[in-house]
Structure 1
Amino acid sequence: MKILVTGFDPFGGEKINPAIEAVKRLPRSIHGAEIYQLEIPTVFHRSAAVMKAKIEEVKPDVILNVGQAGGRAGITVERVAINQDDARIPDNEGNQPIDEQIQKDGEAAYFSTLPIKAMVEAVKSSGIAASVSNSAGTFVCNHIMYQSLYLAHTCYKGVKAGFIHIPFLPEQVVDKPTMPSMNLGDIVKGLTEAIGAIVDYEGKEDEKIIGGTTH
C-alpha cells in the first residue's frame, strides 16, 4: 500500500505549521505501507494542483491530508468535506473566495472514505487526545479534503482519502495563553497511529462506536 500524506505550509501570520512539520517526521513505512510526504501551499486550487501532480507520480492507494486547527486540543479526524469555499482570511496568495463552489460538477459534500472511528481509537489508545470532527471549516483545509475526495471519485477510482486536523504547537501559543497546544512528538505519534489504523482496516468495516456530538 502507498499512502500520500500532505501538510500545509505556514499561514495566517504563523511562522510554522505543525502540519508539514509533523508530516516531514513520519516514518517512511507504517505497518508495511509506504509513506510519501508532500508539502502543499495554503492556497485555494493551487494546493490541489500540487497534490494532483504528486498523485500522478506516486499513484497512491490512500491520500491523507493534514492541517492545523488552532484552538482544538486534540487530534481530530474529519468526517466530511463540503463543496464550499468561504474564507475568513486570505490564503497565502491573497485569495479570499466567499460562498464559492469548489467544483461545479461535484457533489454537495463527500464523506471521508477512511476508517475514521478506528483512527480515533488508535490515537486515543496511544494516550493522545483524539475525536471525530464533523466540520473541516471552509478554508483551505476543507478545500483540499474536498478536492482529494472529488479526485478519488472522478479520476482515481479506488483511491481512499480523508483529512486530519492537529493542534497548535506550544511555541505558537506563547502569545495565546488561552489556546491549547500539543508537542510535535505527540502529533507525530498520533498521526502514525492513525495511519496504522488505515492500513490495518484495509478491506474491513470501520468500528461502529460513538463518535458524534450534540452540537
Structure 2
Amino acid sequence: MPVGEKRCVCVTGFGPFKGHLVNASWVAVQELAKLGLSDDVELIIYELPVVYEDVKKIIPGLWEKHKPVLMVHVGVSGIADEITLEQQAHNDGYNRCDVRGVTPITQTCVDGSCHDVIVSKINMAQVCKAVNEANLKVTTVVSHDPGRYLCDFSYYISLHQNRDCSAFIHVPPLGSPYSGAELALGLQASIRAMLTQVQ
C-alpha cells in the first residue's frame, strides 16, 4: 500500500425488523463512526435492509466499490447479553421470512456454492481475548452459529467473497445491558484486533 494511503474498513449494521424497531446494530455502528478506528483507516458504514434480495446485491457491491481490507457486518441478537464474535456462516436453511415476507426460493444463500459452511480465517478466539483484556465495560464471546437469518446470510455472502478478511459481530439489544456508545467501544476494540490479523 502506498505511503499515506488509508486502508478501508467497511462496517454494516441492519435496519429495523419485527421486535427491533430500533436496531441496536445500526445504532452501535453509527456510534462507532463517531469514534473512528485509527488515523490510517477510512471507515465506511452502511445500513443494510432486512431483505434477502437487497443484501445479496448490496454486499458484493460494497466489496467492489470500496475494496476493503476488512468487511465487518454487525447484527442484533435478541438472546445475546455479550458482544458475540461469529466464526463461520452457513449457506442453507434460510426459511424465515424477511421484512417483505419473502425467503430465498432455494432457501440457500449462494446457489451452486460447494461449501455448506465457510469459516472466517480471522481467529475470533484471539479477537475475543484481546477485547476481554482491554478493560472495557463490554465482554465478548465466540459463536459458531449466526442464526440462519439475514445475519448469517450476509456473513456467508462476504465469506464467499473473501474469507480472509470477513467478520460478523452480534450485539445485544440496547440496554441489555449495554448502551449504543458502550457497544461502539466494543466494536472498535474488536475491529482493531481483527486488523492486526489481516494486515
Which band: TM-score by shorter chain?
0.7 to 0.9
CA distance in 1, matches of 2:140, 2:47: 23
Query: Where do 5+ consecutive residues of structure 1 fail to align?
Result: 154-158, 171-179, 204-215
Name 1:192's counterpart in structure 2: 188
Name 2:11's counterpart in structure 1: 5
Query: Where do 5+ consecutive residues of structure 2 fail to align?
Result: 1-6
Which structure 2 residues correspond to residues 44-193 of structure 1 after superposition, within 5 A?
A: 44-88=52-96, 90-97=97-104, 100-106=107-113, 107-125=115-133, 126-127=135-136, 128-152=138-162, 160-170=165-175, 180-193=176-189
Name 1:35's counterpart in structure 2: 43
Give percent identity, aligned residues only: 27
Q: Counterpart of 1:70 in 2: which secondary structure?
A: coil
- 1:47 deviates by 1.1
Which deviates more, 61-70 or 116-125?
116-125
Paired positions, count: 188
Q: Counterpart of 1:37 in 2: which secondary structure?
A: strand
- 1:167 deviates by 0.2
In the alignment, is residue 24 of structure 1 matched against residue 34 of structure 2? no
- 1:61 deviates by 1.3
| Partner deviation per Cα, 1:113-149 (whole Å, 9 max, x = no partner) | 2231222122212332211011101011000000011
CA distance in 1, matches of 2:39, 2:82: 23
- 1:91 deviates by 0.9
Q: What is the TM-score normalised by the length of structure 1?
A: 0.80
Q: What is the TM-score normalised by the length of structure 2?
A: 0.86
